Amino acid sequence: MKDFIYTALPARVMFGAGKLASVREEVEAIGATRALVLCTPQQRAQAEQVADLLGARFAGLHDGAEMHVPIESARKAREIAAELKADCAVAIGGGSTIGLGKAIALEAPVPIIAIPTTYAGSEMTPVYGITENGLKKTGKDARVLPRSVIYDPDLTMTLPLGMSLVSGMNAIAHAAEGLYAKDGNPVMSLMAEEGIRALAKGMSVLAGAPDNRNARSSCLYGAWLCGTVLGHVGMSLHHKLCHTLGGSFNLPHAETHTIVLPHALAYNSIAAPEAMARIAAAIDAEDAPVGLYRMAQKLGVPTALCDLGVKQTDLDRACEIALANPYWNPRPIEAAPLRALLQRAWEGAEPQP
């Protein structure tokens, strides 16, 4: 067995249908008295439900969360938190809303209680991202790790099917790269494999029955595990490519992950055979990259970058940006095979090592 170091991040997680009802107790448990509720305009109804549940501990609601946390929206939310004298933020939504909570927590003593409603996994990580002048800067800071996380599958019933499936693939990507991480460890690998299995199983049911509660639970459970992996170990080529493509060409986050994943795994397949075997076992396929590609086809999610509006003439630039400051990767990142990977991802062709 490979040597490892395992450092656990503090986490308090409540999981179950109807668990939203305990939000007030969670606020009380961290000693907060003035909670600012955060959401996107689309999720205002769910945020108002949180406000009602908080009773006297509710200080205000701000529905200004936006994709990729533009600096202006971070500043606005910080101002509102200060005006309201908020001593905690309750973020209900996906990675964008939790990201807004993180932007506040980075500069003020406003701990976060996260109520995730997608499978993106931000709630389990100390990683934040803020976009300024078209560039998304990310960093790590213990203060932005939510103090408490409430996973209530009932809240994911309204997540549209298409978004649910790409969000699930986004979560699988964290676990897949976690399985070959340089700083990986056996605990995270167990969580990664189980997370992929739970999501693959849940999504296969959701595709035909989006209202199936057991499948929604299975997906959210998988999302927790995959998000935990993302918070604990380093990511590689796949995340670098998605970061590059998403930031440079303004692509939707989860869809980009969905399309690139089988190709990034194929690139790494020979260098990381054990990880590939565990991913394949979790999705019940013979080969991990091809299995994920077929799974995406079966689920009906996007499989080609050209369908997201990327132009073929953009691929050379994407390749150059991805080659600059690369993350650690099990296989060295080289221009020609990387360009071939991008070509296949753009066309939606079957992945190849």
| Positions in the binding site for ligand NAD (CB under 6 A) | 40, 42-43, 67-68, 93-97, 99, 117-118, 120-122, 125, 127-129, 155-156, 158-159, 163, 167, 230, 253-254
What type of residue sits at position 311?
A: K
Nearest residue (beta carbon) to ligand NAD = 95
Shortest separation between residue 90's beta carbon and ligand NAD, angstroms: 15
Nearer to ligand NAD, 96 or 236 (CB): 96
Instruction: Report d(CA 345, CA 317) in Å as an integer.
Output: 15
Shortest separation between residue 73's beta carbon and ligand NAD, angstroms: 12
Nearer to ligand NAD, 131 or 329 (CB): 131
Shortest separation between residue 227's beta carbon and ligand NAD, angstroms: 7
Reading the block at residue 266, the tokens are 């194929």
Dihedral over Cα of 141, 144, 146, 151: its sign: negative
| Cα–Cα nearest to 238, from 306, 296, 180, 278 | 180
Nearer to ligand NAD, 32 or 159 (CB): 159
Nearer to ligand NAD, 90 or 230 (CB): 230
Shortest separation between residue 264's beta carbon and ligand NAD, angstroms: 16
Tokens 């009802």, residue? Answer: 21
Shortest separation between residue 44's beta carbon and ligand NAD, angstroms: 9
Q: Residue 155 CB: number of other CB atoms within 10 A?
A: 24
Residue 287's SS3 state is coil
- Phi, psi (degrees; rounded to nearest 5) at 90: -105, 110
Dihedral over Cα of 312, 313, 319, 324: its sign: negative
Helices 273-283, 186-206: axis angle to 10 degrees equals 30
Three-state helix/strand/coil letters over 153-199: HHHHCCCCHHHHHHHHHHHHHHHHHHCCCCCCCHHHHHHHHHHHHHH
Shortest separation between residue 344's beta carbon and ligand NAD, angstroms: 24
Nearer to ligand NAD, 94 or 291 (CB): 94
Nearer to ligand NAD, 37 or 120 (CB): 120
Nearer to ligand NAD, 96 or 269 (CB): 96
The residues, any chain, with a CB within 8 Å of residue 129's CB and separated by 6 or more, are 68, 69, 99, 136, 137, 138, 139
Nearer to ligand NAD, 159 or 198 (CB): 159
- Phi, psi (degrees; rounded to nearest 5) at 56: -65, -15
Shortest separation between residue 195's beta carbon and ligand NAD, angstroms: 14
Shortest separation between residue 43's beta carbon and ligand NAD, angstroms: 4
